[in-house]
Amino acid sequence: MSHQTVCLMALAGTSAGSYDGAMSIGSRPLVPSRMAPGGVVHGSRQPRNRVGAFIALTKPRIIELLLITTVPTMVLAENGWPSTWLVILTLIGGALAAGGANTINMYVDRDIDALMERTRHRPLVTGLVQPNEALVFAVVLEVAAFAVLWVSANLLSAVLALSATAFYIGVYTLWLKRTSRQNIVIGGAAGAVPVLVGWAAVTDSLSVVPVVLFAVIFFWTPPHFWALALRYADDYRSANVPMLPAIVPFRAAHVQMVAHTVALVISSLLVFVVSSDLGMVYLVSAIALGAAFLFGTVRLGKNPTESASMRLFGFSITYITLLFAAMTIDVFL
C-alpha cells in the first residue's frame, strides 16, 4: 500500500504550509509529544509473548466496544432476554469476525504502523508475528466466525458479519484510509454492522429498527474517532494518512464533528419513534446523553486542547455504552 503515498500527498494537499494550518490549535500544536519517561509511547503497548501478540492483533478493546451494542440490540429484538446460549455464541461469533478483520487491518497497515509512534510496537511491526502467520490467523478467525454464527443463529447473521469484514478491509483499509479525508465516515459503517448481526441472530430478518440503530453507530463513529485523531494528528501526518483532523484546520474538522453529533442525536431519538418496545427510560436517556455529547463537542471548539479532545473521546464511549444500556433497561421495565 505504500505506493499510494504520492496520491495521498496530492489529495491531502500536504505542503508544509497546509500542514501548519491543520496542526494549529490556538497557538500551539495539538500533540507536542507522546514519549513518556523511559521512551515508552503512550497508547502503544508491546506484547510480551507470542500469545499476547496474536491477541493484540485482534484489537480486543475495539471488539469489546462493538459487543457492547450487540447484546442490547438482541434484547430489543426479542423484547426480552433471548436464549443465553444464543447470546453467548453470537458474541463469540462477532468477536471472532471482528478479530479477524482487525488482524487483516494490521497486516495491510504494517507499513504505516511502523511510522506512527502510537502503533510502532504492534506485533507485525516488531516482528513478534510474521505477516503470513497473521493472514492465516485471520482466515481461521473468519471461517470460525461464519461457522459459529451460521450453526448457532442463522445464515443471515453469518453473512452480515462476513460482509462487515469485507467492507472494513476492502473499502476502508485498502481504499479510503489512505486516499480520502472521509475515510472514517464511510469506512466506519463496518463498525455499525454488529447491531444488524445481533438483530438478525434473534429474528433471522432485518427491519427499520436495526437500520436506525445502524445509523446511530454510523453517526457516532466520526466524532468519536476524530476526537482521538486530534490527539494523534501528528502520527497520521507522519504516515501520510488523510485523517480529517490531521489535514484540515481545526475549525473545519470541528464543524464536521458537530454536524455528525447532531445527526447522531437525531438518530438516537428516531430509535424511540420506530420501536414500539421502548419507553420513557430510553427517551429521557437519549435526550440527556445526546445533549451532553453535543455540549461537549461544541465546547471543544472553545477549548481545543489535547486534554479536551481526549475527554470528549472518553465521554463518547460512555455515551454509547449508557445509551444502549438504557435501551436494555427499558425493555425489561
Identify whether the C-beta of residue 227 lies closer than 8 Å to the C-beta of residue 305: no
For the chain, residues with pLDDT lower than 70 are 1-45
pLDDT at 4: 37
CB atoms within 10 A of CB 138: 23
Condensed to tens digits (0 to 9), the pLDDT of residues 263-281 reads 999 999 999 999 999 999 9
pLDDT of residue 23: 33
The confidence score (pLDDT) of residue 45 equals 67
The domains of the chain, with CATH numbers, are 42-204 (1.10.357.140), 207-333 (1.20.120)
Cα dihedral value 158, 97, 66, 117, nearest 10: -160
pLDDT tens, residue by residue, 124-141 = 999 999 999 999 999 999
For the chain, give the mean pLDDT: 87
- Residue 42: what pLDDT? 39
Portion of the chain with pLDDT greater than 70, in percent: 86
Which pLDDT value is given to residue 44?
Answer: 53
The whole model's pTM is what? 0.85
- Count of CA atoms in the C-beta half-sphere (13 A) of 120: 14
Cell numbers for 286, please give them. 437519549
